[in-house]
Amino acid sequence: MSAATDAVLVTGLGATTPLGGTATATWDGMLAGRSGISAIEEEWAASLPVRIAGRLAAEPTEVLERVQARRMDRCEQVALVAAREAWADAGAPEVDPERLAVVIGTGTGGALTLLGQDDVLETSGVRRVSPHTVPMLMANGPAAWVSIELGARAGAHTPVSACASGAEALAMGLDLIRLGRADVVVAGGAEACLHPLPLAGFAQARAHSTRNDEPQRASRPFDVDRDGFVIGEGAAVVVLERAGFRAARAHATLAGAGVTSDAHHITAAHPEGQVRAMRLALAAAGLAPHEVDHVHAHATSTPLGDLVEARSLRDAIGTHPSVTATKSMTGHLFGAAGAVGALAAILAVRDGIVPATQNVDTLDPEIGLDVVMGEPRKGAVSAALTNSFGFGGHNASLIFTAAP
């Protein structure tokens, strides 16, 4: 393929997050430095060591048809809401269904349905279990629902790679187009698992912040006093298409992706895998490290994780790019995190502005990066890199450049 036909454009954006029910509202919230993290007031959280979360700003059940919503897990609901917005933003492209694919990643899939229906089985018996349980709990549900909605027949795929899932979905979409298997791919990530069990598990693993008395300041990437991430829910979806497929406005170009695995430890990251992912993304994009202007860091706000990523960034890219971490506002959306990070990077390239990382009172001196703090930073962003890393040693890096 020539360089022109090899280009993959981002023509549609959609999201529903703790900052807003649309991509625009989410971006506006990031630029305003607004927090989407709040206290969990429900009784079920009263005895938990963690009682804060990034909850959706807009309920998907208020957007979806009532009967349809009742047959979907919350993870599936947010995926469909974001996909509808992205598809409309792309102008609902006319594409042969055999050339349209869907890739929606998730970390836990229909965890709320699984846990909820198990409670029903234990307390009320088998006859009260919903007949929709299996299609609601299956991890491929979000991709399946979106493919049904859009009539996509070139494949409905589901990367399940923990917190790298959303980014891997975009990387797979890039591959599908460059390999000639699709002209248009709807790709992203979705997650919704606010439940006592995940909260208790992360608390026991000492991975989740316990700043219950100040939820909006709990997620503090790169700060010297960071104490863990904050769980969040939501989805982000983009429409990718082959350059030249049609005349269409593009937000940015997905120029390259790198996906690696550490083969090291089930939860502890290895910097070598992160560095390799970034270098693979650079090579795929045909860029040198000094050409990257901006990095949207994975930066979950864990003491070790942020430091490992900072060291990897310095090794693979250098210290010159501006760096931001929007999980300080949204919380950590796990399987959707990479797609939300991609959204922020795409819009930084398009609009020439980088959101500030919030809650950095004292930058950890060991980070050694140009972390954007205080106010958003204006200036041209010709190339932006995003990182997503997940339990199991999954690493995914994406590079976005300006649209042609």
* Every domain of the chain and the residues it spans: 8-401
| Average pLDDT estimate for 351-368 | 98
Cite the beta strand spans of 179-233 per DSSP E.
184-191
pTM of the model: 0.97
Give yes or no for residue 324 having a pLDDT over 90: yes
| Marked catalytic residue, from 251, 270, 296, 298 | 298
**pLDDT tens per residue, range 290-319:** 999 999 999 999 999 999 999 999 999 999
pLDDT of residue 5: 46
Residue 193: active-site member? no
Give yes or no for residue 1 having a pLDDT over 70: no
Residue 163: active-site member? yes
**pLDDT tens per residue, range 39-65:** 999 999 999 999 999 999 999 999 999
Residues forming a β-bridge with 122: none
Give yes or no for residue 4 having a pLDDT over 70: no
pLDDT of residue 6: 79
Q: What percent of the chain has pLDDT over 90?
A: 99
| Marked catalytic residue, from 75, 157, 163, 294 | 163
Classify domain 8-401 by CATH number: 3.40.47.10
Residue 332: active-site member? yes
| 244-264 b/e (C-beta count within 10 Å ≥ 16 → b) | ebbebebbbbbbbbbbbbbee
**pLDDT tens per residue, range 205-262:** 999 999 999 999 999 999 999 999 999 999 999 999 999 999 999 999 999 999 999 9
Q: Angle at the Cα of 279 (from 285 to 27), degrees rounded to 5?
A: 65
pLDDT of residue 210: 95
**pLDDT tens per residue, range 330-353:** 999 999 999 999 999 999 999 999
pLDDT of residue 179: 96
Q: Are 176 and 152 in contact (CB under 8 A)?
A: no
- Alpha-helical (H) ranges within 18-164 are 23-32, 66-70, 74-89, 111-124, 133-137, 141-150
Question: Is 115 strand, coil or helix?
Answer: helix
Type of residue at 290: H
Give yes or no for residue 190 having a pLDDT over 60: yes
Rounded (10°) CA dihedral 30, 164, 38, 23? 40
| Marked catalytic residue, from 157, 270, 294, 332 | 332
Mean residue pLDDT of the chain comes to 97
